[in-house]
Structure 1
């Protein structure tokens, strides 16, 4: 065995005899790392997950190379107007005024505007081309003239697309309309300005500031766009942190009062927890990791682990003090055992968190890195600083004569908790093999049931609920959450506007589009589409460059004749001289429509397919990829649905990969550590068995409660393994110490579950409260993560206390 005791003895000297120097060093480090807090930026939304995704890269290329209707080159803002009739004269004037006031402000960089009101004004007076002239035109028109102009404008498909589905041409009325404001923002402006978060994005600033300008118009018009979404997502992250952290602190304080029962010990524990958060967040700031919605979960997790370490340290120290030992000898005996236990626990927990570094998604990798660093920081503070501070505090208490509270350890002999915990030893004595057999059966059943867990990834995971729960609305400032409109507005658009109904999928095609087979390849791919594709006459409903060619052929006889001369098989799709056809099309009045589907260099095109309503995200993605494979050119299926489904698949793979990595790494680590420490690698397996049971139970419970693997809960299985090993490691390591002085395995187990079990109980209660409080977070994904993390901790505690004695008894009887 390696002589690790020399390192422990060296630390004992510093902790017990040079405690003030230790405290000073840690306080200086806290100040240094604390300066990194001001460097922490924020990032939110789904875009952080879609980086490096082939489907997202194709989607970006489509948005970059083609010009969809009403999309500005650098960003657009939607003005959503609602009312009894948004086509009445007063409402038309309100929309025109809103767009005019935005256009006049140079800081909004307005390049163009579109609205139903502008179309009506142009119908009234074709010579009124500016917003100012159109305002005068509508103001001078009578209500009857306005109604007539609305009916005439209704023949324009673009006009109808801007109106809600309840538009009535006869009464010239609609309850909602969308106005578009396009902005011209020079590339690189955000980077030149030193923007580090979504709130510094130029489009976000424009849209947030435009709300006050639009609000000055006498009408119900709301501003909406990607900048507003980014702003609210950032606000939700911050508001969730403001709500969750104090709530966790209050609950933790309550349970710490139960665990410590001493004001001075409570103060030391709280100071250590605060230092842990400062060190971890400061580290993030110094290395430039932004604070994302996933990282909101890190502070409660670190609080949970810190509480566990703190309670173990104080409780173990009290076990020695009640025997009559003085301060220094008591702390020396405490750290002799706990520093080794903390090393084991820190190693396994860090491996559990760090296993998320195997994920292909950067936010999950950053979560794993920050959490792993945080665990190491927690071990240093609670393993070295807290014991040193406890020695200094007790010496100060003795010197000034302060009273001592709560000196008795949790779970001591004769206490109600001690008797309850001893039940697991009684169970092991009477039927350890039966206990293990039942645990194995439960593990297999729960694990098999868990194979049906859903996987999801969507905007809804990160958006605030449409209606903020009443218990959150009643919170006082500064904890009261803000007003969130994104979800309500998104649902409103889905409900009111036909243009946003149903899913579409885009096939992004690259290659020599001038080749004779290029358009026939598109035509062939559309035949006999998969089930999720909308279809007519066994052809997929789609929009492509073929659609533009056919539409313009009906408008131009000369172009139709050109197409017919080059349509060898007479199916309406040209086969020869495609370059000539494209050139003629791009020099015609249909140029704008053509550029929506083919690039200027004629090397890329997009085909937009309509999907059946109600088709699942998985079916749409699978079928879209099947259609893309039919193309002779390089084709990639993309679109929001495809991108999100690809991320969902990565999330599921990440969950399994992280769990497998954590399980293997933890098993190797534990076997090595116990081989080095006590000469028995088998203790590593003993340590791991209860946690495998806990992870299986957790996965089964997730499916039972309908909680899917999403961007955050995908990390929980590996985290459960890391956190859960904490509980069993304390039990196993305490047993190895007690077994050295006891010839009877049951006597050693009894002392173990009374001493360490008592500390574990206090730790479990505070940790469940600290992580479970995430259910108060505003975003659903954080609430789900808080619930499953709390469950994982409870299951880990339960299996560590109930199963570990039986595993040890079976090992001692049949293998030792």
Structure 2
């Protein structure tokens, strides 16, 4: 039910011949007006300096609209300027002239097919039009993809001009991707915190000790901090896959901690010495955890060879998360547990 998705579905329905490889500025309302056509012309000019719009060999932007089609038609038949009362900018002087021009293009055998991809007619009224903006493929290969999408979205929204009584909005597959990713990012913190709190509450109920429950969450907490820091320093942005890493960190890291703590408690109840109990724990459970973690990490590492970057990044991040959780469980957690025993008993 995302509004951006619904909007894109509406465009696909109203303009059935339009491709899905371009971003669009949708203009809705009575678009058969001089002000709307002038606004479209101004938008073309505004887009000229956009960073991620594809360009032809001569440097002109790959932008398509009903105004583009009018220019093509006049280039092939200059008498159209006189017939539809156009000025030097190829804008008819009255709304009625604009409507007649749209009718001519819409019903033309030559231009009809192209017109239907750019102009939506309902009965005899023209209710919507689109400006199609082809995006430079380098947007996903140059710098941070998410930041590039934000720049693209910001520039396209700034390019929107005044269209009279019609309203405009920028949309398209890349902008929808940005909208979804931003929504997931906003919900990530709350969902992760909720999972963290629930896991901690369960541990408190089971162990009945606040300190022991806190140390059980230690691998989870540090692993999340480390993996997010790693993503930042190596330049991996949050996407629909990598954004789930923190949630998976809780599920993976807490298992290792619980196995270690439970084995330690059993050993401690028998030998009554914290250090000896921990040595016994690491010599038995530690080996099992090491084998389990490495096999799981290697399984996820296979995704590094995936053809799509998000999948490869996801596999690499999960493998690193598992290694971080294991490292903390086998190093910091034992020290914390021994310290807990020395300071207050079990």
Q: Same fold by TM-score, threshold 0.5 exceeded? A: yes
| Separation in 1, partners of 2:132, 2:230 | 40
TM-score, L = length of structure 1? 0.35
Corresponding residue SS for 1:564: coil
Corresponding residue SS for 1:517: helix
Do the aligned partners of 2:216 and 2:254 also contact (CA within 8 Å) in 1? Answer: yes
- Which position in structure 2 is the counterpart of 1:757? 286
Quote the RMSD (CA, aligned, Å): 4.0
- Indicate yes or no: 2:156 matched with 1:627: no
Once the two structures are superposed, the pairs formed by residues 400-549 of structure 1 within 5 Å of their partners are 504-529=22-47, 530-532=49-51, 533=53, 542-549=63-70
- Which position in structure 1 is the counterpart of 2:252? 723
Where do 5+ consecutive residues of structure 1 fail to align? 1-51, 72-225, 227-502
- Which position in structure 1 is the counterpart of 2:114? 593
Work out which of the residue numbers 764, 767, 791 in structure 1 matches 2:320: 791
Do the aligned partners of 1:58 and 1:508 also contact (CA within 8 Å) in 2? Answer: no
Tell me: CA distance 1:772–1:659, structure 2 relative to 1, closer, same or farther (3 Å): farther
Do the aligned partners of 1:585 and 1:594 also contact (CA within 8 Å) in 2? Answer: yes
Q: Offset at 1:741?
A: 6.0
- Indicate yes or no: 2:200 matched with 1:698: no
Q: Offset at 1:621?
A: 3.3
| Separation in 1, partners of 2:104, 2:308 | 52
TM-score, L = length of structure 2? 0.74
Work out which of the residue numbers 646, 666, 671 in structure 1 matches 2:196: 666
Tell me: CA distance 1:711–1:755, structure 2 relative to 1, closer, same or farther (3 Å): same
- Indicate yes or no: 2:113 matched with 1:583: no
| Separation in 1, partners of 2:190, 2:100 | 57
- Which position in structure 2 is the counterpart of 1:66? 15
Q: Offset at 1:717?
A: 2.7
Q: Offset at 1:550?
A: 3.8
| Separation in 2, partners of 1:705, 1:801 | 26
| Separation in 2, partners of 1:554, 1:771 | 58
Do the aligned partners of 2:37 and 2:163 also contact (CA within 8 Å) in 1? Answer: no
Q: Offset at 1:509?
A: 1.8
Tell me: CA distance 1:815–1:646, structure 2 relative to 1, closer, same or farther (3 Å): farther
| Separation in 1, partners of 2:95, 2:163 | 18
Do the aligned partners of 2:118 and 2:129 also contact (CA within 8 Å) in 1? Answer: yes
Once the two structures are superposed, the pairs formed by residues 673-684 of structure 1 within 5 Å of their partners are 673-684=202-213
Do the aligned partners of 1:505 and 1:624 also contact (CA within 8 Å) in 2? Answer: no
Once the two structures are superposed, the pairs formed by residues 53-452 of structure 1 within 5 Å of their partners are 54-66=3-15, 68=17
| Separation in 2, partners of 1:790, 1:729 | 20
Do the aligned partners of 1:673 and 1:681 also contact (CA within 8 Å) in 2? Answer: no
Q: Offset at 1:815?
A: 8.1
1:211-252 superposed Cα distances (whole Å, 9 cap, x missing partner): xxxxxxxxxxxxxxx9xxxxxxxxxxxxxxxxxxxxxxxxxx
Q: Offset at 1:719?
A: 1.0
Query: Higher Cα Rg: structure 1 or 2?
Result: 1
- Which position in structure 2 is the counterpart of 1:552? 73
Do the aligned partners of 1:55 and 1:637 also contact (CA within 8 Å) in 2? Answer: no
| Separation in 2, partners of 1:743, 1:608 | 74
- Which position in structure 2 is the counterpart of 1:636? 169
Tell me: CA distance 1:638–1:735, structure 2 relative to 1, closer, same or farther (3 Å): same
| Separation in 1, partners of 2:312, 2:55 | 40
Do the aligned partners of 1:659 and 1:717 also contact (CA within 8 Å) in 2? Answer: no
Where do 5+ consecutive residues of structure 2 fail to align? 143-147
- Indicate yes or no: 2:133 matched with 1:609: yes
Q: Offset at 1:686?
A: 1.1
Do the aligned partners of 2:4 and 2:179 also contact (CA within 8 Å) in 1? Answer: yes
| Separation in 2, partners of 1:561, 1:795 | 73
- Which position in structure 2 is the counterpart of 1:103? none
